[in-house]
Amino acid sequence: MADNKPRVKVPKKAAKGEVIAIKTLISHPMESGQRKDKAGNLVPRQIINKFTCEFNGQVVFTCDMDPAVSANPYLEFNVRVDEPGTFKFTWVDDDGSIYEAVNSIAVE
């Protein structure tokens, strides 16, 4: 699905050792597998089941998601930044698709 657009908010720069807040949102229906269509058939589950945030190749935060996470899953979390570098965000869909976003941060 090409419409799963990730949106990420990361500060452009931070002081060394500062704890920054990161906000992420991705467009996704998060079909729970509980819902029925008009004909009364269960709509099969299809959700994003895992989110990972890496900083310079090191995993700093991950989240396992179940169908109770709302559509267009939103996540806000913190990371301590000790050096400049690149954040890589990965979302894994039930169907195996992977959605990615990359953001860099400067340290002054």
Partner 1 sequence: LAFLPRLALAAAQSTDEAIMAFTKGATPTEGTVSLDTPEIAENGNTVPVGVSVDSPMTADNYVESVLILADGNPNPAVATFHFTALSGVAEAKTRIRLAKTQNVIAVARMNDGSVFIDRKEVKVTIGGCGG
What size, in residues, is the chain?
Answer: 108
66 Cβ contact partners less than 8 Å away, ≥ 6 residues apart: 47, 49
User: In angstroms, what CA-CA distances link 61 with 2, 21, 34, 53, 100?
Assistant: 25, 12, 29, 5, 15
Per-residue string for binding with partner 1, 64-83, x by CB under 8 A?
A: xxxxxxxx-xxxxxxxx---
- Least distance CB 83 / partner 1 (angstroms): 11
Whether 86 and 101 have beta carbons less than 8 Å apart is answered as no
Q: How far is the CB of 16 from partner 1 (least distance, A)?
A: 12
104 sits near partner 1 (criterion: CB under 8 A): no
The verdict on 15 binding partner 1 (CB under 8 A) reads: no
Q: Which is nearer to partner 1, 71 or 106 (CB)?
A: 71
Residues near partner 1 (CB under 8 A): 19-20, 32, 34-36, 55, 58-71, 73-80
